[in-house]
Structure 1
Amino acid sequence: MLKTLVAVATIFACGAAYADGANASGSVSADSDRYGIGKPIDNAAIARWNIDVSPDGRGLPAGSGTVAAGAKVFAAKCAMCHGKAGEGGIGDPLVGGAGTLTSAKPRKTVGSYWPYATTLFDYIRRAMPYNAPESLSADEVYSVSAWLLYKNGIVPEHTTLDARSLPRVKMPNRDGFIPDPRPGAL
């Protein structure tokens, strides 16, 4: 009971302190720093988190990668979960599945399901490898993307991907999604 009362009192005190430092619009006024909580964030700090890539390629970083380099990166950093050839293991399969989306057992892979090569890049960059997300360089992500697209028969073996070429890759399921007409939706 005492712990609950202390928690409620703390929340109340923080709310009162915030309300005291907020102006009529609800934003914190300039004198709110007197409470010693928080600090303004600078553009450099925001840039480290602002790594999203749009379907049209906006947000892609500088760099490039080849299918051959991607095979090496995949073998070293991805195959332990996704299988030697991307067939799946403890991680999802990434290769194959073409033509299965309308079947009784669809296989959602890079080649069968993903609508944009740029969102493949974005996902790998943010979330992979599972044990060390965001640890791959831009060149490594371009390379792994190239290798996966090659293994799925989407790009030729001697492909080099970069910020200009990746958005031009036409994925087999690009037209398989229904656009969201709501304002602000992609």
Structure 2
Amino acid sequence: MRRMIVFAALGACALLASCDASPSAADPSFGLGHTPTPARLAAIDIDVDPSGAGLPAGAGTSSDGAVVYAAKCASCHGAKGEGLAPVPPLVGRTPDVGYDFARADRAPRTIGNYWPYATTVFDYVRRAMPQNAPGSLSDTETYAVVAWLLHENGIIGANAEMNATTLPAVQMPARGIFVLDDRQGGRPFR
């Protein structure tokens, strides 16, 4: 038994001694992946910020969105956005705006009681929905679904058209509960 332990230890030492501890000057990508083309970068550079920068051309209304939602969203989120377990609800204003989500984190966070910017709803729907085909909605379909969601949450009127001008102007009920993180000090990170 002792002999096996000694041979195992010597083998481990030999293996460690044969390893080069210095960084390799070889390809840092290890031969994986490739440099994306400008066209590929443009296709994935679709972020939208709270001011509306990055919103594409197109427009949609709640009535247009009801059709798209029924066809592409309701199977997971429910016919009225009520959520189907385990998918959370999208529609609802309970608990009311101002509810302390930090202290009672089990309350549902819906578009009507939690999301601070309508442009963020657009950005998320555009990138991640529907779950079985993320990014498959056209810009017009995305505007329409977002208009339907905002209308169902009582945020916009039934005939309001959402587009690159009107969407950033929507005042979300929960906008005031979010504060700018302007802390100073501490160790910076990148």
Shorter-chain TM range is 0.7 to 0.9
- Please, which of 57, 79, 84 is the counterpart of residue 84 of structure 1? 79
| Superposition map of 1:40-119 within 5 A | 40-90=35-85, 91-98=87-94, 99=96, 101-102=99-100, 106-119=107-120
- Please, which of 18, 21, 31 is the counterpart of residue 27 of structure 2? 18
Task: Provide the secondary structure at the position in 1 that maps to 2:24.
Answer: helix
| Superposition map of 1:121-160 within 5 A | 121-160=122-161
Identity of aligned residues (%): 50
C-alpha separation in 1, matches of 2:72 and 2:146? 13
C-alpha separation in 1, matches of 2:75 and 2:132? 11
Residues 116 and 178 in structure 2, CA contact (< 8 A), matched pair in contact too: yes
Larger RCO: 1 or 2 (CA < 8 Å, sep 6+)? 2
C-alpha separation in 1, matches of 2:67 and 2:39? 32
Letter in 2 for 1:96: G
Q: TM-score, normalised by structure 2?
A: 0.75
Tell me the alpha carbon deviations over residues 29-82 of structure 1, each in whole angstroms, 9 at most, x when there is no partner: xxxxxx987655432221111011001001111111111010001100100011
Number of aligned residue pairs: give it: 162
C-alpha separation in 2, matches of 1:182 and 1:172? 25
Residues 97 and 106 in structure 1, CA contact (< 8 A), matched pair in contact too: no
What is residue 22 of structure 1 aligned with on the other side?
A: none
- Structure 1: tracts of 5 or more residues without a match: 20-34
Structure with more of its chain in helix, by fraction: 1
C-alpha separation in 2, matches of 1:36 and 1:139? 40
Higher-Rg structure is 2
C-alpha separation in 1, matches of 2:77 and 2:32? 44
Letter in 1 for 2:68: V
